[in-house]
Structure 1
Amino acid sequence: MGGAVRANAALILLSRLALTVAQPSPYPTPFPTFGPTPVPSPAPTWGANRGATAIVLFSTAIICLIVPGLGLYHAGLSRSLDAVNAIAMKIIALAAVAFQWFLVGWTLCFSGAMHIRPFSHTYQLEIGSLQRMLLWDTRVDEGMWDGKSHVSQRAYCIFQLSFAIIAPCLLSSAVACRLRPVPWFIFVLLWTTFVYDPVVFWVWNYEGWLYRYGVIDYAGALPLLIASGASGFVLSAFVGNRPSFRDFEDDVHHSTPTALVGSVMVWFGWVGLMLGAALSADEEGEQATISAHISSAASLAAWMVLEQRELGYMTSSCITHGTIVGVVAVLASGPYVAPAGSIIMGAIASVATYYGRRLTKHPRLRVDDTFEAFGFYFFAGMTSLLLTGVFAYYFGPDGMVKGDALQPWRQFVAMVAVTLYSGGATFILAVAISIFMRIRTTSEEEEEGVDIALHQQSIMYDKYGENLHEAELGSFANYWWDDWLYIWSVLVALWGVVVAVALAVLASIVVCCESCTMAIKSCLTSGCGFFYRSIWSVEEKRRQAAVRVGLRQGQPTLPDASESDSDGEDYGGDSDEDF
């Protein structure tokens, strides 16, 4: 009895398995089904372009080098007692922006405009709705735009996250070494929500008023340079000057090699940003990268001439400041300006920032812009925006040289609007936070060093070479790597190069993946088709032979050996058992 039950259960299981296998698959199969005419299945489609998505993801990884690069750059330019805080402020900003971006930042920037209906009338706000909050309605298999790029929505979200992280990192250069970590974290959350996100919506969203007004901003001169520079100036004036504040001519950089390595990493990241902003591997990305290199070289050359003329020698600032100013000087123009125009823009931006950074040090102003965010980034962004309106010629937008005389005016209006909005909103946020908590460190903490006061950590040596922890370190002080921050920065740079090469190889594989997949699928289809035709031919011959045997069995006599079938095969001399 038990054996019969087990046999019935096995039969039911096999029948269900057979029915499951027999059901048609919801996915297209790469192999032809057996039948007289094999028809290959259509290739599955993907809404986003794989090549464009690979370029964007690769550029995102390169852009991430800007954050540690800025940290090392500012740490090298600061006192040895403040170097850890200079790096920590960038990491705190990174964490705050990443949290805010996936929560509401992405949807406030790149979803449809928010509408309100207070008194039976609908008003459209210049900010995005909450349609994509927490990455809702953001798919990996659908393109972001309807144009040629078709970048994956989530890839574009991560790419724009890198932009959002850079903005408060640039702002932090104005107030470094005198803000407490918790108020800084809260300020970055609020500033990104109420300042950066609206400006991005205005500039890059199809429903933003600056986009509809016709403003040209290829890679973020308005949200990254103008908004950060203006906000940094206002916040620096609000928190006040440091006791050690003095003219930049008297500043002593505790580790110039660290600043140089950090500036190279920042320059490398900005070039990656220029490449990825094209959203595809085409002539726009190539032209933007060329413009970044040419402008950087022109800016460095102009800075060398200015320093040689004024000081009689070239300082390390020529390398650190000149190269970075040259790259950010073409953020607004990108591929829209010819190489000759990029050279002019880089040289003019170098002159503007060289003399503009002295504005905050003027005796009647005296604003402690720690690492000169206003002097460098704001003036470089202003130059980039205005000259883009003059020299824009290629790939669509027209500048004054191509016949649109009003384009410089549009760029100027956008710059003034973003400056006033960013500065006013920053002041309101700073006042609101200061009501509930203390924003700035005390004078005693700044004199002692914010590294010890805020983080209970410091680098090994001060700027005069004195060992701060000789009792604990002992003979370690005699080792040759006195400046451990420099060694660490070199290791970070090497790691960045290795990651960049690995990502470049991965991007190449992803770009070639689709064509390789189609080639492999074609080979498999041809092989399976040949295999099927061979089997079908044999089966057809056996069937015809079986039919002839049946006909012979119904006849009184077998045909003669001389008679042949229609296929040319002679069955006259064979017996029935052969089949």
Structure 2
Amino acid sequence: MAQSVQNLSVLTASTSTSTIVPITIVYNTGDNAWMMVSTALVLMMTPALAFFYGGMVHNKNILNQLFLSIICMGIVFCQWVLFGFSFAFGPAVSKGFGSFKWACMLFGEGTFAIITPALISGAVAGRMKLIPYMIFIFVWTTVCYDPLAHWVWGDNGWLKLLGTLDFAGGTVVHISSGISGFVASIILGKRYDVGSHGQAHNLPFTVLGTSLLWVCSAGNASGLAALAMMNSNAAAAAGLMTWVIIDAIRGSISISGACAGPIVGLVAITPACGFVQPGWALLIGVIGTLVVYSGLQVKKYIGVDDALDCMFVHGIGGIAGAFVTGLFCQARVNSGGADGAFYGRPIQLWYQIAGILTTIAFAGLCTAGILLPMKYTIGIRLDREDEVLGLDHTAHGESWEAAEPGVRGSISKVEDVEVGEDGIIQFSATMSVLQQIMPNFRPQLRVADGNLKQQPPRLSIQKVDYSNGGTGFVLVPETSSRASNGNIISKL
């Protein structure tokens, strides 16, 4: 196997003399290559997350949801290179660029830093302004993620010195993002048309994202240990089967559940994957899935609009995984770990609880401390009309699907109407129902002059004749009058 060599000198001292002794550090190129491949796999998890989330939002926000994840790759990694890595792990970047060790570590740890705030985007889907979101990502990574990474993974981090175990990010990545997403959801408030977002609108996207996340989880831990790779896969498989079995018992096996199960399993095993035997990994996948599934059953009673269940999947799943790590970890599996409560050392459970509580408190306070001042200064919430119309149109000016012949074109005949503010909400709900019946049904809504009437209309559908020979439909309030300016208010 080819090897690379780095020559260094060490100063040794005795009572009478000082001697400079040359030493040689050897880097195995095969090991180096695998570390870089693993890092690339973790980097791919962020685009995978974009597809996973993108498939679960309303079709008017698919492109925006993809953007919310992808933009983290730019914002966070620039921050990471400039100063984030130094904050989290100590060495100045300018001193590390000449060393393969620091270059590989900077890149590898940076991929974890990227995906963590991207996870938060699932909680705020469909209702947060873009510029405030990007500011939040930058500040949150600096004041929340970087310190947590140092405390848990840094050589002198106090949680690491205490004995808290987190192999691949149960606390640093998942609990922090889950809690932050929950707090952000509270501060932002509920979506105006939340009732129309209850079902995933592009399940193939979600399946694709799930598959990529599962495959890329190999790099999430196996850059450090082959056992971690096997444990991650075992927990994902157990999570999948557990969710499917529960769905079967309840009467309907859903593809969305089959996607959620392995993700929950991967979240739960994250802190433990390098410290437990494969049998325990299977059990951790089952436990994590049972806890998260149970939590989702009480979600409607909490009253917080966590759009894509970030708090439950990542927050609760991460908490469950970090806790059971204190039960099942073994020092003989990993010399860098410790024996857990099941192996005669119950104190490890308390170390895990300390890490969990610290992460919950710190992430929650940081998120509130960032978003509350922004809320009352620059504003973080979309206008009602923009939110109901969807961010693909209002923020990006794009559509996620290509135009279909005979559908888009100039309009030669249409009934123009005024729609009240409450009618906009009713419009969105009506469109959601129609889309369940006609999958290719793609509504758009525009407001004339921004003048809205408060009286909620009764809605009916009228046919539209296009100049290019195509046909469409207009949603018309039966009790409203013709608009004076001739603009189209709503069209399909």
Query: Which residue of structure 1 aligns with residue 256 of structure 2?
Result: 317
Instruction: Provide Cα deviations, 1:483-532, integer angstroms capped at 9, x if missing partner.
Output: xxxxxxxxxxxxxxxxxxxxxxxxxxxxxxxxxxxxxxxxxxxxxxxxxx
TM-score between the two structures when normalised by the length of structure 2? 0.76
Quick one: higher RCO (CA 8 Å, sep 6+), 1 or 2? 1
1:263 corresponds to 2:202? no
Output the amino acid matched with 1:55: W
Question: Which contiguous aligned blocks of 4+ residues in structure 1 show a shift greater than 6 angstroms?
Answer: 469-472, 474-477
- 2: distance between equivalents of 1:48 and 1:208? 27
- 1: distance between equivalents of 2:288 and 2:353? 16
In the TM superposition, residue 335 of structure 1 has moved relative to its aligned partner by 2.6
TM-score between the two structures when normalised by the length of structure 1? 0.65
Query: Which residue of structure 1 aligns with residue 50 of structure 2?
Result: 71
- 2: distance between equivalents of 1:322 and 1:388? 19
1:288 corresponds to 2:239? no
SS of the residue corresponding to residue 264 of structure 2 reads helix
Instruction: Provide Cα deviations, 1:144-173, integer angstroms capped at 9, x if missing partner.
Output: xxxxxxxx1101100001000010111111
Taking a change above 3 Å as real, the CA distance of residues 466 and 226 of structure 1, as seen in their structure-2 partners, is same
In the TM superposition, residue 51 of structure 1 has moved relative to its aligned partner by 3.1
1:216 corresponds to 2:155? no
1:404 corresponds to 2:345? yes
Equivalent pair of 1:56/1:156 in contact (CA under 8 Å) = no
- 2: distance between equivalents of 1:45 and 1:424? 46
Equivalent pair of 2:240/2:259 in contact (CA under 8 Å) = no
In the TM superposition, residue 265 of structure 1 has moved relative to its aligned partner by 1.0
In the TM superposition, residue 47 of structure 1 has moved relative to its aligned partner by 5.1
- 2: distance between equivalents of 1:404 and 1:475? 77
- 2: distance between equivalents of 1:475 and 1:57? 56
- 2: distance between equivalents of 1:297 and 1:62? 19
Identity %: 27
Instruction: Provide Cα deviations, 1:30-59, integer angstroms capped at 9, x if missing partner.
Output: xxxxxxxxxxxxxx9555443332222101
- 2: distance between equivalents of 1:78 and 1:137? 44
1:205 corresponds to 2:145? no
Instruction: Provide Cα deviations, 1:365-420, integer angstroms capped at 9, x if missing partner.
Output: 21111111001011111111111110001212211122211111110111011101
Q: 2:242 aligns with which of 297, 302, 306?
A: 302
In the TM superposition, residue 476 of structure 1 has moved relative to its aligned partner by 12
Query: Which residue of structure 2 aligns with residue 181 of structure 1?
Result: 130
How do residues 31-430 of structure 1 correspond to structure 2 at under 5 angstroms?
A: 46=25, 48-111=27-90, 132=92, 135-141=93-99, 152-246=101-195, 251-276=198-223, 278=224, 285-310=225-250, 312-362=251-301, 365-393=302-330, 394-396=333-335, 397-430=338-371
- 2: distance between equivalents of 1:106 and 1:244? 40
- 1: distance between equivalents of 2:320 and 2:349? 11
- 2: distance between equivalents of 1:293 and 1:86? 27
Query: Which residue of structure 2 aligns with residue 496 of structure 1?
Result: none
SS of the residue corresponding to residue 304 of structure 2 reads coil
Taking a change above 3 Å as real, the CA distance of residues 45 and 359 of structure 1, as seen in their structure-2 partners, is same
Output the amino acid matched with 2:378: M
Output the amino acid matched with 2:39: T
- 1: distance between equivalents of 2:41 and 2:470? 35
- 2: distance between equivalents of 1:319 and 1:303? 7
- 1: distance between equivalents of 2:207 and 2:325? 29
- 2: distance between equivalents of 1:48 and 1:429? 42
Output the amino acid matched with 1:182: I
In the TM superposition, residue 468 of structure 1 has moved relative to its aligned partner by 5.8
Structure 2's unaligned 5+ residue stretches are: 1-5, 8-22, 403-430, 445-463, 472-492
Taking a change above 3 Å as real, the CA distance of residues 140 and 56 of structure 1, as seen in their structure-2 partners, is farther
Instruction: Provide Cα deviations, 1:428-473, integer angstroms capped at 9, x if missing partner.
Output: 100122243121111111111111111111223884412569999x
Q: 2:374 aligns with which of 433, 439, 445?
A: 433
Taking a change above 3 Å as real, the CA distance of residues 468 and 240 of structure 1, as seen in their structure-2 partners, is closer
Equivalent pair of 1:97/1:192 in contact (CA under 8 Å) = yes
Equivalent pair of 2:217/2:229 in contact (CA under 8 Å) = no
SS of the residue corresponding to residue 335 of structure 1 reads coil
SS of the residue corresponding to residue 307 of structure 2 reads coil
SS of the residue corresponding to residue 336 of structure 1 reads coil
- 1: distance between equivalents of 2:352 and 2:465? 59
Structure with a larger share of its residues in helix: 1
Output the amino acid matched with 1:422: A
Equivalent pair of 2:168/2:271 in contact (CA under 8 Å) = yes
Output the amino acid matched with 1:458: S
SS of the residue corresponding to residue 455 of structure 1 reads coil
Taking a change above 3 Å as real, the CA distance of residues 471 and 100 of structure 1, as seen in their structure-2 partners, is farther
Equivalent pair of 1:460/1:468 in contact (CA under 8 Å) = no
- 2: distance between equivalents of 1:334 and 1:187? 31
Query: Which residue of structure 2 aligns with residue 119 of structure 1?
Result: none
In the TM superposition, residue 321 of structure 1 has moved relative to its aligned partner by 0.3
Output the amino acid matched with 1:60: T
Output the amino acid matched with 2:354: V
